[in-house]
Structure 1
Amino acid sequence: MAESFIFSIAESLTAKLASRAYEEASRVVGVYDDLQDLKSSLSYVKAVLLDAEQKQERSHELREWLKQIKLIFYDAENVLDQVDCQTLRKQVVRAYGTPKDKVGRFFSSSNPLVFRWKIAQQIKDITQRLDRVAANRDKFGLQTIAVDRRVVHRREMTYSHVIESDVIGRDHDKEKIIKLLMEPSLDNNDGSKHISVIPIVGIGGLGKTTLAKLVFNDKRVGESFPLKRWVSVSDDFNIKSLILKIINPLSDFASSTNAPGGQQNLIDLQIEQLQHRLRNMLEGRKFLLVLDDVWNEDRVKWVELQHLISVSAQGSKVIVTTRSQSIASMMGTVANSYHLKNLSPKDSLRLFVRWAFKEGEDGKHPDLIMIGREIVKKCKGVPLAVRTLGSSLFFKHEIQEWEAMRDKEIWNLPQKEDDILPALKLSYDEMPSHLRQCFALLSLYPKNHAFNSFDVAPLWGAAGLLPLQSKDKTMLEDAHQYLSDLMTRSFLHNVVDCGTFYGFKLHDLVHDLAVYVSKDVCQLVSSNTQDIPENVLHLSFVENGLPYNSIKTSLQGVRSILFPVDNQGASEAFLNAWVSNCRYLRYLDLSNSTCETLPESIGMLKHLRYISLCNNKRIKRLPNSICKLQNLQVLRLDGCSNLETVPEKLRKLISLQRLEITTKQSILPESDIAKLNCLEYLCVQNCVHLESLFVGTRLPTLRTLEVTASASLKSLPLDTHHFPQLETLGISGVVNEDWLYRSEDTNAVLRLKTIVLYKMVTLPHSLQRYASTLQTLVISRCYELEVLPEWLSNLSALKFLYIWGCPKLMSLPRDIHRLTSLHLLQIINCTKLYRKYEPQVGECWPMISHIKHTDIRKTWNS
């Protein structure tokens, strides 16, 4: 699978070599000419990579050829990164170095002359290796393809027939869609007829097509729509092809040489003649059109078809099934797309039994049914997954076979063409190559992990998967665009849009897919791991007590090490055995580690972009060598409750974008922090001795500030003089708001977009100051909060209101209807609120029923 990422790596290398910043850096270092030779060799290979990726499944030799190129590309990325490291180091020495530093540097390996010679030799070696491998490209008969427009082999054409008794658990969904079909259509503002379009959205295998078939074949729908057409769109949204299918449902077969003459004649007609026939057929007739499996996002084509069918009678409708929310938004006209949900556990088991046994045989095997319940849990309510696993057990009645199925991961099971993994992989294959890589890295976290974009962005950034940084766009903004792309493809689950950041999870089956496609690049290491693939790049340790003393030479190229499971972190022995050997590390997450110190050699990991010691309760000091990491973008020391002081000379971390601190210090090195010209995110957590924060200090680039449980804090200036770019504010555990110093200058009021309040007893009255700009308000785990202030209804710009885990909260403001911009209200795990505002039945439901999107649940899992 990793070979499918090669073109993306080639593109990122090409983009870097072509950038003005890198060109200038290479001239300063003195390797510009050497890099031009590499650039030429790279272009020669890149030209055929897309074709090679598509043909590799049919040729073992071609796969080996791609593997050689991949390893050369990895080395090239490491060498190019060294040029960046040298450039940043020169900036630091120039800005903050002493004469002693400069003399020491002359006699070290960082000496410009020594570095230039070494790096030039490495570049020449890589270029020669690439040329030798590239010389073999012609023997594979590869074609030059410059742009990634690979053909995705989607599923076969669908048809409208369905046996209703075979469908389980979709009665409620069917009635909902039929209700939408029966609602009257509205006229457009220009007086023309309005055709309602109802999108059904969900991941592959969820049963969108099956639901559309149930609706299409319902007797009531047939009586209401005299003319119906089912069109399987799938591969192409070709207007001529669509017109043919609408005029004559048998036109799918019209290209056959045995097709009747009338059908063959239709194909021979010009588009002008066809559209004339279509309009004659539809004019004045009430029409239902189902467009099944739509992938094309070209709005021009959709509008063209819409105009052609608009001659039909009032009340005509279109049903669209798609995996893409962006397509649903583009085509849909109803208030909301119909997001198809998973089957219930009960319905999933019924469906499983139907596919695993002959009719009536299940009663003979109660022991197998018990195992079947556990197997069905793997499927997480996705019907195609249930069918896949049930079908594979048909005629198998041995307990051992069922237990083996229960204990295997889905991606390790044999899969036929129309099974669940191939169905999900269609969506993956359709993604652009850079997005495929980003998705694959999400496999490094366990199932049901709660992601947020603040953590995903540095992981993708450290792996080099985000665009080169510019003044116009931050790393977080680029990551948000990629997450939005994944969201529209139904790859993200339980998404929470907090305005300036996202929270989300992966559906278990989507996580299975991520593990499947990333297996040569990413590895989850547990006690069951027998071997780690050669040249793996990203390692995630998901258990304690794993062996660490058998480091392989081939693993020295590892770029990411994670400990993503709570309360399972690295020991000092692990650090000494692994970290010092992995000299190309970019991402080092040592959350929950038990080490009392970091090795001084940490300063040698010059490629590091991210290091986290989050929730290490034992560490007291950090080596000052950590400030030699000029590439470092994220430093997390939050939850380090015994940390006596942060490292000296933080100002040398000139690339730092995010800093999180827990320390026993009463005064932070604010002058150093203020010199961090890239700093966008700052969290000061549980600094119990801290009395004031950034009074008289300006942080011009800061966008997010989080201050939690700092009991001694007496002053925090919140104004544009100190924080001119601040957009997101998080506050936790504040008993009173006296320390929230506010300037009297009305021109200095912050333009906050997002506020997160955590473990508060009351809401700070000062929130009113942000009424005209605040778009997102999160109120989380405020266990003692009983009432919301009435002035909350003054937040005129509020779009998203999230209330989570507030069990004593009695009610919402009486005039919540004044929040006219409110787009989404989510209430979860708030016992008293749920009883009063439960959808349709709660006594106060009418007060909020006008809000476009409401999500009100007893618990997170309800």
Structure 2
Amino acid sequence: MAESFIFSIAESLTAKLASRAYEEASRVVGVYDDLQDLKSSLSYVKAVLLDAEQKQERSHELREWLKQIKLIFYDAENVLDQVDCQTLRKQVVRAYGTPKDKRLDRVAANRDKFGLQTIAVDRRVVHRREMTYSHVIESDVIGRDHDKEKIIKLLMEPSLDNNDGSKHISVIPIVGIGGLGKTTLAKLVFNDKRVGESFPLKRWVSVSDDFNIKSLILKIINPLSDFASSTNAPGGQQNLIDLQIEQLQHRLRNMLEGRKFLLVLDDVWNEDRVKWVELQHLISVSAQGSKVIVTTRSQSIASMMGTVANSYHLKNLSPKDSLRLFVRWAFKEGEDGKHPDLIMIGREIVKKCKGVPLAVRTLGSSLFFKHEIQEWEAMRDKEIWNLPQKEDDILPALKLSYDEMPSHLRQCFALLSLYPKNHAFNSFDVAPLWGAAGLLPLQSKDKTMLEDAHQYLSDLMTRSFLHNVVDCGTFYGFKLHDLVHDLAVYVSKDVCQLVSSNTQDIPENVLHLSFVENGLPYNSIKTSLQGVRSILFPVDNQGASEAFLNAWVSNCRYLRYLDLSNSTCETLPESIGMLKHLRYISLCNNKRIKRLPNSICKLQNLQVLRLDGCSNLETVPEKLRKLISLQRLEITTKQSILPESDIAKLNCLEYLCVQNCVHLESLFVGTRLPTLRTLEVTASASLKSLPLDTHHFPQLETLGISGVVNEDWLYRSEDTNAVLRLKTIVLYKMVTLPHSLQRYASTLQTLVISRCYELEVLPEWLSNLSALKFLYIWGCPKLMSLPRDIHRLTSLHLLQIINCTKLYRKYEPQVGECWPMISHIKHTDIRKTWNS
């Protein structure tokens, strides 16, 4: 599977070699000519990589050739990274050899014997699913009655005229991940008697592989035109294909003129708005009230095509409906009553499917005619991806979306497999992981690493790969659906490895390791694992020991990402300063460590240093100013004074968190942090002052505050021109909201109020936040009500209330006594609990 990423690696290497920074660095260390040779060999082999990727399954020899190329690319990446290490530039040749030693030119010469074609741009052909049809047996569909009625209600609503007086065709997108039942729902609606009576003319068009206008016109004019290319097609249909598009569009317009028309476009992947607008213009001659239903996995496509207020996001089946569907596929009709013991196991099997109907069907049908308890238990205990899969089962359905993604996005998605299921991600943590792996574009003055990561997350979100997304304006929170997580594990199996007590072996040349259990044997390390670039301990209270550090970390000299969260080590080895490639190191929540070696300040590539939750840390390292690449710093320390002058010299610092520094009395009084964008200050009870103005924080956009009893320390300049232009404020564990938040009314777009357990009322001035787009209220059980004038928040796009008992009762959608006060808000998400 790793060979599917090889073109992306080649592109990354090419970009680095072409950059001025690498050219200058190579001249400094005397390897300029060698890098030019590498550039030439890389260009020669890169030209055929896309073709090789697509043909590798048919040739063992070609797979081996790609494996050799991949390993050479990894070595080349390490050499280029070493060139980029400021302190070791002159030692590159002596310690690691030159790029000419990497054998790329010799291995690349073998490309010609495979008959590979030159393909310069990644426009891979994705094999879409088979064409769909409109027929459905309604009694076979379970749990979609409510969804069906919702869509039919939208169909029956009158269409509105456009501003120019022209007719408006409403477009209703149905959005969701593969296998969720979008097509089935559209079929139920399409075949409903009420819909047939309301729309005299209906057409079902399976789009799937291409949004070709001529093809679409043919399918609308004649539903049988899918078969018109066969030699047995009737003459009339064959004649349609022979017509020019000008003649076809005349026929289409004549057919639709003045007739009320329903068009279903199933499985749309096209993101070219020009093509959609062209089709829209052609069908606009139909009668008032004509509608289009679109099924798609992409929210961006839904937004582009949709005209109703909200896309219809199809939800997962309930556990009860999932079990009913499972029984339907696992037993002959009426036989399930004979096997209550199997039904009990079936309940556990259904949990794997997480409400995705296609997964339920896949597992249920694989047990049809099998009535042995051992067979059912084996199914229960086996990962879904290890089961045999037919073309229309869940793995091909989900992997289709994965295969469609550009190669850089596939790599980023694969790295999410390093975290356990149900992990709560945020973009502040994902960005450095992707950045350390070299998957984000080369840094520029115009765009930060976080902004690049946001773009990639947005791309994944529009493809329905992210679940429970929370858009906080300047950062995202999200989860992965369990089946999507399984897909990430499946596609990354040669690159990423989750290590547990069940792990038999670790693949050679694996790049990323995630340790998900304590007490694993660390005393035997393979030579082949010295190239590991990422080590994580992502599970709470599962951390590294000193034995692990001694056995593993010092051997992995190319480490870029080292997450030692929840570790139990009392110190770090002095040799940590030798890990020159390191971009990220976290000692988050280590309760035992007291000091860090000063050698940590030799890590001039380090972008993230996390010391938050290190409650016994007596002092932060001296000479922090030497960490010239540091972008993010999180600190918990017993110090009463931080080394502010050093921190102020960190010219790349964008994110600063000061957490539980109980002895800290002041913070950055008279100190300026010109590049800081995010500041988080939590539970610092002794803190007496904090300057919050543009003189000290000219770029600050996001402010997080937790556990502040009063706001006296929130120093505010009297200069109105010095007011911060905050976009996001996150408040944790507050008893009241700081009155000073009013100062940001014209710029504040996102407000998060979380775990404020004693908060009873929201201030009425909250309604003055004229720019507010997103309001999140989580875990505030005593909060009684929202401001009476909440209707004044005319910019409010989303209101989310979760785990707020009293608010839920009053504002429950449709039935709560105060629901009318917020029903005008475009998006509302009001739930008793996170899982409701």
Q: TM-score normalised to the size of structure 1?
A: 0.95
Deviation readout 1:685-732 (Å, 9 max, x if unpaired) = 000000000001100000000000001000100000000000000000
Instruction: Report if the CA contact (8 A) 2:34-2:98 is conserved.
Output: no
Instruction: Report if the CA contact (8 A) 1:293-1:320 is conserved.
Output: yes
Instruction: Report if the CA contact (8 A) 1:411-1:516 is conserved.
Output: yes
- Structure 1 residue 361, shift from structure 2 partner: 1.0
Name the CA distance, whole Å, in 2 between partners of 1:200 and 1:272: 31
Instruction: Report if the CA contact (8 A) 1:621-1:644 is conserved.
Output: yes
Deviation readout 1:614-672 (Å, 9 max, x if unpaired) = 00000000000000000000000000000000000000000000000000000000000
Instruction: Report if the CA contact (8 A) 1:775-1:798 is conserved.
Output: yes
Instruction: Report if the CA contact (8 A) 1:227-1:287 is conserved.
Output: yes
Instruction: Report if the CA contact (8 A) 1:719-1:750 is conserved.
Output: yes
Instruction: Report if the CA contact (8 A) 2:753-2:776 is conserved.
Output: yes
Deviation readout 1:310-366 (Å, 9 max, x if unpaired) = 000000000000000000000000000000000000000000011111111111111
Instruction: Report if the CA contact (8 A) 2:79-2:99 is conserved.
Output: no
Give 3-state SS (helix, strand or coil) of 1:812's partner.
coil
Give 3-state SS (helix, strand or coil) of 1:826's partner.
strand
Give 3-state SS (helix, strand or coil) of 2:85's partner.
helix
The answer to whether structure 1 residue 520 and structure 2 residue 484 are counterparts is no
Name the CA distance, whole Å, in 1 between partners of 2:380 and 2:11: 41
- Structure 1 residue 406, shift from structure 2 partner: 0.5
Give 3-state SS (helix, strand or coil) of 2:555's partner.
coil
- Structure 1 residue 95, shift from structure 2 partner: 25
Deviation readout 1:713-770 (Å, 9 max, x if unpaired) = 0010000000000000000000000000011011100000000000000000000000
The answer to whether structure 1 residue 830 and structure 2 residue 804 are counterparts is yes
Query: 1:537 and 1:393, CA in 2 relative to 1: closer, same or farther beyond 3 A?
Result: same
Deviation readout 1:249-279 (Å, 9 max, x if unpaired) = 0000001111101000000000000000000
Query: 1:282 and 1:242, CA in 2 relative to 1: closer, same or farther beyond 3 A?
Result: same
Instruction: Report if the CA contact (8 A) 2:810-2:819 is conserved.
Output: yes
Deviation readout 1:751-801 (Å, 9 max, x if unpaired) = 000000000000000000000000000000000000000000000000000
Give 3-state SS (helix, strand or coil) of 1:289's partner.
strand
Give 3-state SS (helix, strand or coil) of 1:6's partner.
helix
Q: For residue 297 of structure 1, what is the aligned residue in structure 2?
A: 271
Instruction: Report if the CA contact (8 A) 1:822-1:851 is conserved.
Output: yes
Query: 1:96 and 1:145, CA in 2 relative to 1: closer, same or farther beyond 3 A?
Result: closer
Q: For residue 330 of structure 1, what is the aligned residue in structure 2?
A: 304
Query: 1:73 and 1:487, CA in 2 relative to 1: closer, same or farther beyond 3 A?
Result: same
Deviation readout 1:507-548 (Å, 9 max, x if unpaired) = 000000000000000000001101111110000000010110
Give 3-state SS (helix, strand or coil) of 1:706's partner.
strand
Name the CA distance, whole Å, in 2 between partners of 1:87 and 1:130: 27
Instruction: Report if the CA contact (8 A) 1:88-1:631 is conserved.
Output: no
Give 3-state SS (helix, strand or coil) of 2:27's partner.
helix
Instruction: Report if the CA contact (8 A) 2:601-2:623 is conserved.
Output: yes
Instruction: Report if the CA contact (8 A) 1:616-1:640 is conserved.
Output: yes
Deviating more after overlay: 57-66 vs 770-779? 57-66
Instruction: Report if the CA contact (8 A) 2:79-2:96 is conserved.
Output: no
Deviation readout 1:289-329 (Å, 9 max, x if unpaired) = 00000001000000000000000000000000000000000
Instruction: Report if the CA contact (8 A) 1:457-1:479 is conserved.
Output: yes
Query: 1:9 and 1:667, CA in 2 relative to 1: closer, same or farther beyond 3 A?
Result: same
Name the CA distance, whole Å, in 2 between partners of 1:414 and 1:214: 29
The answer to whether structure 1 residue 147 and structure 2 residue 98 are counterparts is no
Instruction: Report if the CA contact (8 A) 1:72-1:129 is conserved.
Output: yes
Give 3-state SS (helix, strand or coil) of 1:580's partner.
helix
Instruction: Report if the CA contact (8 A) 2:180-2:314 is conserved.
Output: yes
Deviation readout 1:475-509 (Å, 9 max, x if unpaired) = 00000000000000000000000000000000000
Name the CA distance, whole Å, in 2 between partners of 1:553 and 1:197: 58
Instruction: Report if the CA contact (8 A) 2:205-2:219 is conserved.
Output: yes
Deviating more after overlay: 413-422 vs 203-212? 413-422
- Structure 1 residue 131, shift from structure 2 partner: 1.7
Query: 1:715 and 1:99, CA in 2 relative to 1: closer, same or farther beyond 3 A?
Result: farther
Percent identity between the two aligned chains = 100
Give 3-state SS (helix, strand or coil) of 1:811's partner.
coil
Name the CA distance, whole Å, in 2 between partners of 1:139 and 1:372: 52
Q: For residue 769 of structure 2, what is the aligned residue in structure 1?
A: 795
Name the CA distance, whole Å, in 1 between partners of 2:91 and 2:50: 39
Deviating more after overlay: 55-64 vs 719-728? 55-64
Instruction: Report if the CA contact (8 A) 1:245-1:251 is conserved.
Output: yes
Name the CA distance, whole Å, in 1 between partners of 2:97 and 2:649: 15
Instruction: Report if the CA contact (8 A) 2:31-2:98 is conserved.
Output: no
Deviation readout 1:146-200 (Å, 9 max, x if unpaired) = 0000000010000000000000000000000000000000000011000000000
Instruction: Report if the CA contact (8 A) 1:88-1:630 is conserved.
Output: no
Name the CA distance, whole Å, in 1 between partners of 2:408 and 2:819: 44
Name the CA distance, whole Å, in 1 between partners of 2:318 and 2:755: 29
Name the CA distance, whole Å, in 2 between partners of 1:28 and 1:136: 33
- Structure 1 residue 94, shift from structure 2 partner: 22
Query: 1:527 and 1:314, CA in 2 relative to 1: closer, same or farther beyond 3 A?
Result: same
Give 3-state SS (helix, strand or coil) of 1:136's partner.
helix
Q: For residue 599 of structure 1, what is the aligned residue in structure 2?
A: 573
Name the CA distance, whole Å, in 1 between partners of 2:638 and 2:89: 30
Q: For residue 116 of structure 1, what is the aligned residue in structure 2?
A: none
Query: 1:81 and 1:95, CA in 2 relative to 1: closer, same or farther beyond 3 A?
Result: closer
Name the CA distance, whole Å, in 1 between partners of 2:402 and 2:100: 54
Give 3-state SS (helix, strand or coil) of 1:757's partner.
strand
- Structure 1 residue 98, shift from structure 2 partner: 30
Query: 1:79-90 to 2 correspondence within 5 Å?
Result: 79-86=79-86
- Structure 1 residue 556, shift from structure 2 partner: 0.4
Taking only aligned residues, the RMSD between alpha carbons, in angstroms, comes to 3.0
- Structure 1 residue 613, shift from structure 2 partner: 0.2
Instruction: Report if the CA contact (8 A) 1:831-1:858 is conserved.
Output: yes
Q: For residue 30 of structure 1, what is the aligned residue in structure 2?
A: 30
- Structure 1 residue 410, shift from structure 2 partner: 1.1
Instruction: Report if the CA contact (8 A) 1:293-1:321 is conserved.
Output: yes
Deviation readout 1:796-837 (Å, 9 max, x if unpaired) = 000000000000000000000000000000000000000000
Q: For residue 375 of structure 1, what is the aligned residue in structure 2?
A: 349
Query: 1:413 and 1:278, CA in 2 relative to 1: closer, same or farther beyond 3 A?
Result: same
Instruction: Report if the CA contact (8 A) 1:96-1:652 is conserved.
Output: no
Query: 1:850 and 1:100, CA in 2 relative to 1: closer, same or farther beyond 3 A?
Result: closer
Instruction: Report if the CA contact (8 A) 1:45-1:134 is conserved.
Output: yes
Q: For residue 170 of structure 2, what is the aligned residue in structure 1?
A: 196
Give 3-state SS (helix, strand or coil) of 2:752's partner.
strand
Deviation readout 1:363-422 (Å, 9 max, x if unpaired) = 111111111000000000000000001111111111111111101111111111111011
Instruction: Report if the CA contact (8 A) 1:89-1:630 is conserved.
Output: no
Instruction: Report if the CA contact (8 A) 1:617-1:642 is conserved.
Output: yes
Name the CA distance, whole Å, in 2 between partners of 1:651 and 1:93: 28
Give 3-state SS (helix, strand or coil) of 2:413's partner.
helix
Instruction: Report if the CA contact (8 A) 2:25-2:89 is conserved.
Output: no
Name the CA distance, whole Å, in 2 between partners of 1:572 and 1:470: 38
Instruction: Report if the CA contact (8 A) 2:471-2:477 is conserved.
Output: yes
Query: 1:617 and 1:93, CA in 2 relative to 1: closer, same or farther beyond 3 A?
Result: farther
- Structure 1 residue 86, shift from structure 2 partner: 3.1
Deviation readout 1:458-480 (Å, 9 max, x if unpaired) = 00000000000000000000000
- Structure 1 residue 92, shift from structure 2 partner: 17
Deviation readout 1:207-240 (Å, 9 max, x if unpaired) = 0000000000000000000000000000000000
- Structure 1 residue 140, shift from structure 2 partner: 1.1
- Match 1:311 to one of 285, 290, 295: 285
Query: Structure 2: any 5+ residue segments left out of the alignment?
Result: none
Instruction: Report if the CA contact (8 A) 2:86-2:604 is conserved.
Output: no
The answer to whether structure 1 residue 712 and structure 2 residue 686 are counterparts is yes
Name the CA distance, whole Å, in 2 between partners of 1:337 and 1:693: 46
Query: Structure 1: any 5+ residue segments left out of the alignment?
Result: 102-127
Query: 1:276 and 1:96, CA in 2 relative to 1: closer, same or farther beyond 3 A?
Result: closer
Give 3-state SS (helix, strand or coil) of 1:72's partner.
helix
Instruction: Report if the CA contact (8 A) 1:29-1:87 is conserved.
Output: no
Name the CA distance, whole Å, in 2 between partners of 1:775 and 1:714: 28
Deviating more after overlay: 56-65 vs 650-659? 56-65
Query: 1:664 and 1:97, CA in 2 relative to 1: closer, same or farther beyond 3 A?
Result: farther
Instruction: Report if the CA contact (8 A) 2:82-2:88 is conserved.
Output: no
- Structure 1 residue 427, shift from structure 2 partner: 0.3
Instruction: Report if the CA contact (8 A) 2:38-2:99 is conserved.
Output: no
Instruction: Report if the CA contact (8 A) 2:82-2:92 is conserved.
Output: no
Q: For residue 396 of structure 2, what is the aligned residue in structure 1?
A: 422
Q: For residue 779 of structure 2, what is the aligned residue in structure 1?
A: 805
Q: TM-score normalised to the size of structure 2?
A: 0.98
Query: 1:573 and 1:94, CA in 2 relative to 1: closer, same or farther beyond 3 A?
Result: closer
Name the CA distance, whole Å, in 2 between partners of 1:855 and 1:147: 42
